[in-house]
Structure 1
């Protein structure tokens, strides 16, 4: 990727700033997930992580479906694939969204509250149809080391575990909803495979208890996503192989259930295929600290500022220097990477040791394919948007150089 960035920079007059998505890497990663997933499981992509149309088009033939959280996301999915299964979750669904879900043939609707349950039934009655639902449960316990928690703590998500029996009773009494199981999305960015196995097992136990007590014909148990990315130690990522081994044991333990187990992963699917590249515009010292100011920032890649963390990057050297004065640089220094916004919160990495960095070099942030551009405040200060480049890297060998018989393919779209 560094060679690609260097080549792209030489083709441009203005400072370089771009998102780059390696679509071949995405296919390879997802193929590994799909081929190791047990046959009783289904993998959906949560498009909130990145709803870029090129990524959705790449993923649609590979995953079992998409998970969405708004009517807008439903429409994005249907623009790519008219028939692919859709799971629809999220709090605060409006009448328009529920009507849209029915219109677009959403497969399962995750009901978040007693009120929403009644609203879905009312709208389905008016439409003369029945909506297949899962009740979203806010468990009283969750995975303790997950970075964000949607359950196990007071949040706006799902139905409190103690209120689930009341929700089941109501659902069974309503003529225009069909209760097919439970939804347990409880966390985000969990990096520990063993605690994730424990969580899935706990979800099974809870669903079995309610299924037996209320004589529910359960078809699905949705254990959500929440599988994380280690941004601080990129060599030490979630152990998918260990998780699959543990998951097989959980499924064997509960082999009398005959349910489909649904996963709705976002970050873990697309994060590693995406990169954010931004050119260094200035190097300066203030109050004893060194700052590198880049052409870009948190209005493009908000995640590190939102989590107050340092995002991993490498330095791509650019030898071209067009000015008649000395090129600013630092050697064996500790730097903070700041963006071009007029706020001290516009920081992407703090106190990072680098061997050498110069104005005009490019910082290449990895693991930027999820919750990057999609969650950022693009138009703050009205700076230009980054380019969005889609790379088919099957034509590149291990060193990043072009192969002799194929050309590097890059598709460019303007956002």
Structure 2
């Protein structure tokens, strides 16, 4: 039995209520991120994209391991500073308000990603009010085409992100008038959930070639390229993930042969760093059949775990059998069937996996959704229908303790 399953057994034994919880394995998170960062070649930096999961224990675990945090709101700036007042922070995202830009300036963020010519003008105006020099990267929405399709596209098609590549000359003319905004380089984040290592190198090659072209065309001196995140997670085949060792081997050759010696490449990964440390665990409340489809109704739903509905996929899960049955009547059991896993919400869209074959499932068993450490609880509509929130459990073997959010730490062994 795994340590996660042992903790779940302890929780079930301590309460007669249906179980619903997020479980985060901080040991796994530390080992995974340490391995990722340690393999990066020189002149490459890893920032954590806080939007993936900004829970305090996650940030505390990652702060010593990564170069800094990538944030997209003042709230995330404050979360970063609460964890480490000196950790480097880079601030991006469309639609920044004057208040947010001023707070970023006062907080001395390392870089601001400028998303439009209007944002550039406002930043120059605000910086002039406090006589602060503000280092920036221009986020560029490239025209493409890009190597191999990914799950999400932020560039190469109509989106709200970045500066249209065709408008760069106008932006550069405006930048030449700025006294308080200092250009450090460019920010590219065109694709998300890329799973093919050689094709991701091809994407970086496109970024570097574009930046070299603009440096020559506009006579620029830059030192940084933010090449975004975009490295994905394969939710449909958990054993076939992005090949990081192959990627860094190719990246090392790429850095030596094609990236100018005075440039650094910045990565801002979120999902790839934290997804695999998380589990969403929920108890089967009912098994029912309607119009030829079998449903497992669970405690919780997409108000806790919106990712499957957002991405329209079947999220991977395992069934953990629980033998205890407290009722005086027979327990419903299905064997060798396809099951659709749904939650408690009053909408047919509350689906986390549809018609997935299972060997056996019973009312009262646990369903453990895997790879829920990113874009899961953080993007969900928590208070829809005012159902209770799930517990959040943080596992760390170094202290031989597990902690439940808002409650005292408890001893555990495995």
Q: Which residue in 2 is equivalent to 1:256? A: 260
Name the counterpart of 2:90: 87
Q: Equivalent of 1:277, from 257, 281, 287?
A: 281
- Structure 2 length as normaliser, TM-score? 0.95
CA RMSD in angstroms comes to 1.2
* Correspondences of 1:110-125 after superposition (within 5 Å): 110-125=113-128
**Cα distance per residue 1:131-172 (max 9 Å; x no partner):** 000000001113442101101111100011111122122212
Equivalent-residue separation in structure 2 for 1:304 and 1:377 (angstroms): 13
- Residue in structure 2 matched with residue 96 of structure 1 by the alignment: 99
Question: Contact 1:299 / 1:380 at 8 angstroms: preserved in 2?
Answer: yes
Instruction: Determine which of 121, 129, 132 is the counterpart of 2:132.
Output: 129
289, 298, 307: which one aligns with 1:303: 307
CA 352–394 in structure 1, closer or farther in 2 if over 3 Å, else same: farther
- Aligned pair 1:351/2:355, yes or no? yes
Deviations 1:84-128 (A, max 9, x none): 000100000000000010111110000000000000000000011
Does residue 213 (structure 1) correspond to residue 238 (structure 2)? The answer is no
Whether 1:9 and 2:12 are equivalent positions in the alignment is yes
Cα offset for 1:242?
1.2
**Structure 2 CA distance for aligned equivalents of residues 394 and 366 of structure 1:** 23
Whether the 8 Å CA contact 2:208–2:259 is kept in 1: the answer is no
- What is the deviation of 1:7? 2.7
| Pair 257,216 (structure 1): closer, same or farther in 2 beyond 3 Å | farther
**Greater displacement, 160-169 / 353-362:** 160-169
Is the CA contact (8 Å cut-off) linking 1:317 and 1:361 kept in structure 2? yes
- The aligned residue for residue 369 of structure 2 is 365
* Helix, strand or coil at the partner of 2:229: coil
- Measure the CA separation in 1 of the matches of 2:285 and 2:188: 46
Offset from partner CA, 1:299-348 (integer Å, 9 cap, x none): 00001011111100000111111110111111111100000100000000
SS in 1 for 2:284: strand
SS of residue in 2 equivalent to 1:348: strand
SS in 2 for 1:173: coil
SS in 1 for 2:176: helix
1:293 and 1:333 map into 2 onto residues whose CA distance is 15
Number of residue-to-residue matches in the alignment: 403
Match of 2:411?
none
What is the correspondence of 1:14-413 to structure 2 with a 5 Å cutoff?
14-141=17-144, 142-393=146-397, 407=400, 409-413=401-405
Cα drift, residue 255 of structure 1: 4.4
Q: SS at 2:364's partner residue?
A: coil
Between the aligned partners of 2:103 and 2:259, the Cα distance in structure 1 is 36
Residue deviations 1:228-280, cap 9 Å, x none? 01111111111111111121121122243421100000000100001100000
Q: Is the 8 A contact 1:314 1:365 kept in 2?
A: yes
Deviation per CA, 1:61-97, whole angstroms, max 9, x where unpaired? 1100000001111011111110100010000000000
Q: How far apart in 2 are the matches of 1:48 and 1:12?
A: 33
**Cα distance, 1:394 vs structure 2:** 5.2
